[in-house]
Amino acid sequence: MKTFRVEFNAAGHVTSCIELDRVAPDSVTIVYVQATSADAAKAKAEKIRQRIRQRARRAGYRAQGLCPDCGRQPTPGRIKCETCLLSNRISDRARQKSEKLRETRATREQQERLATLLEVRRALDEHGPAFIARWLDEAIEELTGRERSRAA
């Protein structure tokens, strides 16, 4: 099935019929909104466009068997990854404690830190402390471009 954009004039005659390439990454997205000004329309349309893109991204992750929230490997037997499951649990707990959901929700930065901590914890269990020290030094060097003095 293909997608077409069909325009009619006031008399009901087709004035244009354009095939849209929905698969291409630069494909056209058309959003119809009602607004009081062009700026308000653009803002409304942008929110809708983001929602469409997010839905497509989540569907793509889900189709690949990845966590729909972030695209990481899911926890065995679960749909979401360990980071998102924990992050959601933190958010749920915060929601129960406070009405201020938006203020207490785990930030992207907190999520990334949690993902890193979980990754280090798993690696520690699997490979031991000497491997972790080497691994951390290499990761720090990669980010800073600076070599740490290592005791051989």
Q: Give the residue among 133, 83, 138 at the shortest CA–CA distance from 109.
A: 83
Asked whether the CA dihedral 47, 51, 69, 139 is positive or negative, the reply is negative
Element (H, E) at 18: strand 14-20
Assess 66 for contact with Zn ion (CB under 5 A): no
> Which position among 41, 56, 81, 120 is part of the footprint of Zn ion (CB under 5 A)?
81
Q: How many CA atoms lie within 13 A of 148 on its CB side?
A: 15
Q: How far is the CB of 85 from Zn ion (least distance, A)?
A: 8
Give the interface segment with Zn ion, choosing from 5-13, 15-23, 78-86, 137-145 (CB under 5 A). Answer: 78-86
Shorter beta-carbon distance to Zn ion: residue 88 or 104: 88
Q: Give the residue among 43, 68, 49 at the shortest CA–CA distance from 58.
A: 68
5 and 18 in contact (C-beta within 8 Å)? yes
Shorter beta-carbon distance to Zn ion: residue 69 or 106: 69
Taking the CA atoms of the chain, what radius of gyration do you get in angstroms?
A: 24
d(CA 13, CA 68): 43
Give the interface segment with Zn ion, choosing from 47-55, 79-87, 117-125, 126-134 (CB under 5 A). Answer: 79-87
Binding mask 82-121 for Zn ion (x = CB under 5 A): --x-------------------------------------
Assess 67 for contact with Zn ion (CB under 5 A): yes
Assess 69 for contact with Zn ion (CB under 5 A): yes
Binding site for Zn ion (CB under 5 A): 67, 69-70, 72, 81, 84
